[in-house]
Chains A and B, each alone.
Chain A
Amino acid sequence: QKEVEQNSGPLSVPEGAIASLNCTYSDRVSQSFFWYRQYSGKSPELIMSIYSNGDKEDGRFTAQLNKASQYVSLLIRDSQPSDSATYLCAVFRGNTGKLIFGQGTTLQVKP
């Protein structure tokens, strides 16, 4: 079992729709969770972090965390073609300081 798992997609949504990206993790003691966005040919950019159960909203982005289910999600409201990218879920491993990444989900927003 991979430590962080994501569906690789592609996930295709029409412009204006809500895109829902999901991630599961295996280490129950994980405390810090991140979503990075990576455009083709570019390096990852941190867009959301979440540390406690529930929802965290930032503009059109909402991160959701459920530690009991070991599940993290990212919702993108009013999706735009510029949101088309690969979204990487990452979990911070406190004992080593490492970020463990999922394989990423490719999102395509069609005009």
Chain B
Amino acid sequence: GAVVSQHPSRVICKSGTSVKIECRSLDFQATTMFWYRQFPKQSLMLMATSNEGSKATYEQGVEKDKFLINHASLTLSTLTVTSAHPEDSSFYICSAAPFGAGSYGYTFGSGTRLTVV
């Protein structure tokens, strides 16, 4: 149980364009999902908390207008990187857990490798 699917696994886009990444909980409902970014040889950095039916909450230093998060259903959260630039190239990963089960650990999606050229 607790399977999280993330799509696409890899994407290359041109500088200035936008990219959408999807995170789905396949066998459970998730009122909350988390989005992380990881640069090479660095740890996970929490970007934002995605809340179903309400606005996402962003960590300090993360531009909410650049990283748009939509959590329109209990099984889907999307992260859109707007006007992407080469410095946005990174590994983006989502995570989720069934409601109330976060204290038992979160499951991660497989991640999306974004390369902006």
Residues of A at the B interface (CB closer than 8 Å) are 31-32, 34, 36, 41-46, 49, 88, 92, 94, 96-104
Q: Which residues of B contact A100 (CB under 8 A)?
A: 46
Looking at the assembled complex, report how far the CB atom of A10 sits from the nearest CB atom of chain B, in whole angstroms. 11
Closest to A104 in B: B43
Q: Which residues of B contact A46 (CB under 8 A)?
A: 105-107
Residues of B in contact with A, size category: 20 to 34
Given known A-B contacts A98-B34, A99-B34, A43 and B103 have beta carbons under 8 A apart: no
Q: Which residues of A contact B104 (CB under 8 A)?
A: 32, 49
Closest to A49 in B: B105
Residues of B at the A interface (CB closer than 8 Å) are 6, 32, 34, 42-44, 46, 49, 91, 93, 95, 102-111, 113
Q: Which residues of B contact A97 (CB under 8 A)?
A: 32, 49, 102
Partner of A43, one of B42, B43, B105, B108: B108
| Bound Cα distance from A1 to B16, whole angstroms | 37
| Bound Cα distance from A100 to B43, whole angstroms | 11
Q: Are B44 and A31 in contact (CB under 8 A)?
A: no
Q: Which residues of B contact A94 (CB under 8 A)?
A: 103
- List 14 additional A-B contacts (Cβ < 8 Å) besides A44-B108, A96-B49: A32-B103, A32-B104, A43-B108, A43-B111, A46-B106, A88-B44, A92-B103, A99-B34, A99-B95, A99-B102, A99-B105, A99-B106, A101-B43, A103-B42
Looking at the assembled complex, report how far the CB atom of B73 sits from the nearest CB atom of chain A, in whole angstroms. 19
| Bound Cα distance from A45 to B95, whole angstroms | 11
Closest to A35 in B: B105
Looking at the assembled complex, report how far the CB atom of A89 sits from the nearest CB atom of chain B, in whole angstroms. 10
Q: Which residues of A contact B6 (CB under 8 A)?
A: 43
Given known A-B contacts A43-B108, A43-B111, A99-B95, A31 and B43 have beta carbons under 8 A apart: no
Q: Are B44 and A101 in contact (CB under 8 A)?
A: yes
Closest to A106 in B: B41
Q: Are B93 and A43 in contact (CB under 8 A)?
A: yes
